[in-house]
Structure 1
Amino acid sequence: MRRFLVRVEAVNLASSIVDTDDLSVIRGGGFANLLVPERLLGALDMGALALVFAGASQAEAILNVAENVDERQVEARLISLASGQEDVANMEPQLVAILPHLTLLCAVVPYESGYLAASRYAIGKIRERQLMNLTIDKGEPPAQSFRRPCMVDGTRPGSMSLSKGGKKLIVSSSVYSRQILGRELRQEIYRQIGVRTDRNLEYADSFADLVNDPPPGLSPSLKGKMAVVYFDGNKFTAIRERAIRNDQHGGGDAVRAFSEAVTKARALFLDRILDNLENDSRMYCDGRRLRFEILMWGGDEARFVLPAWKLAEILPILADDMEGEHWAFRGETMTSAIGVLVCHHKMPITRAVAMADDIVDEIKAYQRAKEGKPENMLSIQLIESIEPHVGGIRGFRQKLYQTSDASAFVVEGASGLRSIIDSYRRITDPSTGLPRSQLYNLISEARSQGLPGQLAGEASNLEELLQTAVDRSRGENGEDVVMALKAALLDPAFGVSAGAPFVGLVRIAETWDLMRPFMVSSELETEIG
């Protein structure tokens, strides 16, 4: 009897997920990459197979085979199954149809020196093979051609017709198979993620659906805007490997337990989000389709999109989730870096995703500089332009705020998130907060005093200006209100601790509507007048 570790991984995800702005196609591509690796291993019919883990577009299993079977034979069988040229046991036809359009790599290595050594060897082989593969799907030559490019992805040859919204579209076989999968296997997708499947929700078909026909009273600055939310786990691999080293059974059990813990924790958070969304009538377009979509889900990463105006109501759920016991694993706490990009829905999704990733990279660089145990950290960036910004998020921030110091843009931990939520509520309160006109006056006054770019200067200068503004606008409300408002304006999460205290004023001004998206009646009258 021979023993192998078998690994299957979907790579080059951009070419099969975010190469279009059609949410059904994105959904189909994203979840195909999530589902297929485990299904391929399950279809491997060459011996006794025990799944180690599945998630994040990867799956591993331990395979026991006869002595006369070698690695090359097992790999050849996996490659044949992944080709899409034959029926695959336990795989729906919709998944089989999409196989030629995914980049699936496999590695089979001897299981001789424990799990960790075998897994690292398999990952190394896959990375080598990834570098030798095209970054786009090869697909199959179309059986027919309409002699025009796909009307959805704009690049592949149009070879199939698809009816959508009463229109006939000429699309590529890649787009067709992903759209069918995203529509027909939605409940299976959510079952795989681990959330409740009794909701039977329908979802928006496009990014425009997320934002069109907004609720009454929405601030004009948020119309047409969406929030792209990206979670990336902090040192999950290190946590998993420590568990492997402490595992008395070779490491496989620890990996399986870790994978299950992450899956359940992410699913619990998603369930809480969906509970909130499905009970909010404003979150439905056409009265039936939810303004929400998952772009990626699995392992230590998650990405979803929703209307920008809903973000403020999601943040308290996120704060509660950060402190949940479900994020504990064998004495360690699993944390995440969370980047939120608020942008116009017409920004190409590939660009929006890249910028959200960039925000997370900035958070992680800040965490490394701090040393110590990683914490949950959140950073939100609002961008008006749909054009790319030279230098990424760091270059954008340096140009706009005269600082790219991440500490000016990061909210640390559940307590920090709750604090800044409360600070925003105090500052933007129509009755007891700082009038927006006073905020703009503060920024102008800082400029008039010659503070570089209105953002640098001493914190003492800021306190003096704030005291005058708060006394002038809310002094009649009493000392308690004045002190609470001043404390909110000096919340460290607004950048005071970054050595650029006036950044906070600009950040508050640009995110005011984001944190209080619906205008009260008096504001509406002013807008109409």
Structure 2
Amino acid sequence: MGHHFLLVEGVNLYANIYDTDQLSVIRGSSFLYKDAVTHIKEQFEADLEAVSTGASSGLFCLKAQATQTIGEVAKKVAQKLRDHEDFRYLTFGVEHCEAASLQQAKEQLWTQLRTHQLQKLTMQPDWSGNGDYQFGQASCDLAGTRIVANHKQKIQGKDRNLSSSVCRRWNYGREKRHSYYHDLLTHDLQEILKDYDFAEDINTLCADPNYPLEDGKPPEFDPEIPIMYPKLAGKMAVVYIDGNQFSDRQREFMTHYTQNGKSLETEIKAQQRFDTTIQGLRNRFLQQVVKELVDEERSTAINPLGHRRHNKQRKIFRLETLLWGGDEMLLVMPAWKGMDFLQRFFAFDWKLDGVEKPLTHAAGIVFCQAKTPIRIIQQLARGLADRVKDGKDYGREHNAWDYLVLESIDYPTTNDLGDYFKTRYPNGLSDNRSCGLPAIREWQETRKQLQTVLEERHLPRRKLYHVLQALREHGITSGQRTWQDLVRLKADDLQTANLSAQEREEHRLYEVSEFQAWLKGEGNDDWPALAKRCFGFGINEPAKRAWAWIHAVELWDYLAPEPVTKPEVVS
């Protein structure tokens, strides 16, 4: 005799979360999916045992003492989600089945869900009714695909006419922004966060710490107060992280904990233990991040502007967690935090008891202006992570990441990153772009070294741009001259060396550098060693060398930014 299972799953998430670029609406949508699963767990506790719950998914088993059949429970769950004043604006799949084991149930339920998902609306339409819920004649000011209703809110200093869906999600995102972290952090951190506000929009999130926005505008510039991140203020980092072979690691974990006897009871306990372990690991990492953000925000209070403004308004918590569950994570933060966050994530100990291999992840990170549409950028970040997984360089076995730096409002207009890279890196350059970069080993030490290298200009930045211009105009040299051979050339040798455009500019870069020994590779912490640690390859081969220059230029401001703590001295 089999056992009865029920699956509640948020479907078509991205269409329903990213139908707008307004941060509170996006945040509210994500919270609603999470809370819907928790609501079902609590409302049907008499009949259902929660086997596994995540950010938008819940797997349940019908209890032996249940007073209803699984079919009856499934109908009531679906009806509850459709009628609930908050959850009716989202799309869910509700499936049930009978199976002999938990693994069989998972496979059956997911097959049913995918089949039925094709028959569902991609985006949940708004509900029309009386009063505030009566449809108007125009589109929603924050989501043009939705019909406006009688909802008006002042958002970022402007009166906005909203649809019912957007209005509810906007309110929910504002109401729940503090409580979201309640179960994730220690009591001490919860108390500290009571003094912080969440940003109303991404521009506020990414404003310079010394010049926080008020009503969308920064305070008047004070020459005595430096802009802490002059090249990165107003820019964001969008980070998407996806677990590698997550199902395989989960299966290995459960096998380890059911090896002394496999029954439904032991399977469920093993699944629950896996969920608890994963949540515990992620919560510990998040606590580290939150503590660091709090410490950094406190440091702004040492300057006069910090004292002045922090007495007038609460501090900003500079991290938006838009997705944090299952094997996927999506976060938004100021650009100056992006690289450090990502490399700390990779460096964290993701070891699971009973599993030989630790969890590894593929990530995509996009640096861009804070005003760039988040719905577009999160797609690019996901595409970059998929490119890492599908590529031959790191695949689904290793911690690795890929990036985009979009300095202007321009961004890829299609989901095909391959085509975009061919345009961005012409003359065959894109053919040699690796599918990702490795997690940077010994990150804290490497970060300090990068800060020294960038601050002291070990790499002549202007000459680097000349190398890149040569690469874009002429492509990678067809020759095989190594870096060591190139830098050994003397002035008398250059006339007969038949240098390519790439080699000519590389040699000029070396000649004008004040750190030739470091560039050449005479030491343990030299440029060849640093490039290999950061980018995963040496610089002897011309193609590898070309991409080391490109990565260095594109990531220059983002790899290891340091805050400016003193006003600029004008002589």
State how far apart, in whole Å, the 2-side matches of 1:418 and 1:439 are: 26
Query: What pairs up with 1:19-168 in 2 under 5 angstroms?
Result: 19-44=19-44, 47-64=46-63, 69-84=68-83, 96-111=84-99, 113-143=100-130, 144-159=134-149, 160-165=151-156, 167-168=158-159
Give the equivalent residue in structure 2 for 1:91: none
More off after superposition, 514-523 vs 379-388 = 514-523
The 1:134/1:479 distance shift into structure 2, 3 A limit, reads: closer
In 1, are the aligned partners of 2:240 and 2:382 still within 8 Å (CA)?
A: yes
In 1, are the aligned partners of 2:237 and 2:333 still within 8 Å (CA)?
A: yes
In 1, are the aligned partners of 2:91 and 2:124 still within 8 Å (CA)?
A: yes
2:275 aligned residue (253, 256, 259): 259
The 1:420/1:2 distance shift into structure 2, 3 A limit, reads: same
Report the AA paired with residue 171 of structure 2. Answer: I
SS in 2 for 1:242: helix
More off after superposition, 73-82 vs 143-152 = 143-152
State how far apart, in whole Å, the 2-side matches of 1:456 and 1:418 are: 37
1:506 aligned residue (541, 550, 556): 550
State how far apart, in whole Å, the 1-side matches of 2:13 and 2:175 are: 21
State how far apart, in whole Å, the 1-side matches of 2:485 and 2:279 are: 46
The 1:181/1:479 distance shift into structure 2, 3 A limit, reads: closer
Give the equivalent residue in structure 2 for 1:334: 359
Deviation at 1:202, TM superposition (A): 1.5
Deviation at 1:331, TM superposition (A): 3.6
Deviation at 1:428, TM superposition (A): 1.1
- Deviation digits for residues 455-510 of structure 1 (CA, Å, limit 9, x no counterpart): 77546158625676446422599999964443356436436459432111122112
Whether 2:292 is the aligned partner of 1:276: answer yes
In 1, are the aligned partners of 2:447 and 2:560 still within 8 Å (CA)?
A: no
SS in 1 for 2:544: coil
CA RMSD of aligned residues (A): 3.6
State how far apart, in whole Å, the 2-side matches of 1:415 and 1:27 are: 33
The 1:325/1:30 distance shift into structure 2, 3 A limit, reads: closer
State how far apart, in whole Å, the 2-side matches of 1:397 and 1:352 are: 16
State how far apart, in whole Å, the 2-side matches of 1:455 and 1:507 are: 18
Deviation at 1:379, TM superposition (A): 2.1
The 1:404/1:362 distance shift into structure 2, 3 A limit, reads: farther
Give the equivalent residue in structure 2 for 1:203: 198
Deviation at 1:155, TM superposition (A): 2.7
In 1, are the aligned partners of 2:384 and 2:402 still within 8 Å (CA)?
A: yes
* Percent of pairs with identical residues: 24
In 2, are the aligned partners of 1:146 and 1:170 still within 8 Å (CA)?
A: no
SS in 1 for 2:422: helix
- Deviation digits for residues 135-177 of structure 1 (CA, Å, limit 9, x no counterpart): 0113421422343322222232222222445544321111121
Deviation at 1:312, TM superposition (A): 4.2
What's the TM-score once normalised by structure 1's chain length?
Answer: 0.84
In 1, are the aligned partners of 2:362 and 2:389 still within 8 Å (CA)?
A: yes
The 1:190/1:411 distance shift into structure 2, 3 A limit, reads: same
Report the AA paired with residue 410 of structure 1. Answer: G
Give the equivalent residue in structure 2 for 1:88: none
State how far apart, in whole Å, the 2-side matches of 1:5 and 1:379 are: 39
> What residue ranges of structure 2 are gaps of 5+ in the alignment?
211-225, 488-505
SS in 1 for 2:190: coil
SS in 2 for 1:333: coil
More off after superposition, 56-65 vs 281-290 = 281-290
Query: What pairs up with 1:388-407 in 2 under 5 angstroms?
Result: 388-390=412-414, 392-401=416-425, 402-404=428-430
Give the equivalent residue in structure 2 for 1:453: 475
The 1:164/1:391 distance shift into structure 2, 3 A limit, reads: closer
2:321 aligned residue (294, 309, 324): 294
Whether 2:249 is the aligned partner of 1:232: answer no
In 2, are the aligned partners of 1:409 and 1:495 still within 8 Å (CA)?
A: no
1:356 aligned residue (363, 370, 381): 381
State how far apart, in whole Å, the 2-side matches of 1:108 and 1:495 are: 47
> What residue ranges of structure 1 are gaps of 5+ in the alignment?
85-95
More off after superposition, 166-175 vs 409-418 = 409-418
State how far apart, in whole Å, the 2-side matches of 1:519 and 1:165 are: 28
Report the AA paired with residue 114 of structure 1. Answer: S
Deviation at 1:370, TM superposition (A): 5.4
In 2, are the aligned partners of 1:157 and 1:172 still within 8 Å (CA)?
A: yes
The 1:130/1:310 distance shift into structure 2, 3 A limit, reads: same
Whether 2:436 is the aligned partner of 1:410: answer yes
Give the equivalent residue in structure 2 for 1:92: none
More off after superposition, 184-193 vs 102-111 = 184-193
- Deviation digits for residues 315-334 of structure 1 (CA, Å, limit 9, x no counterpart): 5533531xx15555544311
SS in 1 for 2:63: strand
The 1:25/1:327 distance shift into structure 2, 3 A limit, reads: farther
Report the AA paired with residue 502 of structure 1. Answer: A
Count of aligned positions? 506
State how far apart, in whole Å, the 1-side matches of 2:432 and 2:197 are: 38
State how far apart, in whole Å, the 1-side matches of 2:342 and 2:370 are: 21
In 2, are the aligned partners of 1:407 and 1:495 still within 8 Å (CA)?
A: no
SS in 2 for 1:500: helix
More off after superposition, 383-392 vs 467-476 = 467-476
More off after superposition, 500-509 vs 385-394 = 385-394
Deviation at 1:434, TM superposition (A): 2.1
In 2, are the aligned partners of 1:15 and 1:137 still within 8 Å (CA)?
A: no
Deviation at 1:205, TM superposition (A): 0.9
Give the equivalent residue in structure 2 for 1:87: none
- Deviation digits for residues 163-216 of structure 1 (CA, Å, limit 9, x no counterpart): 445544321111121122212223332234466533223111111212335653
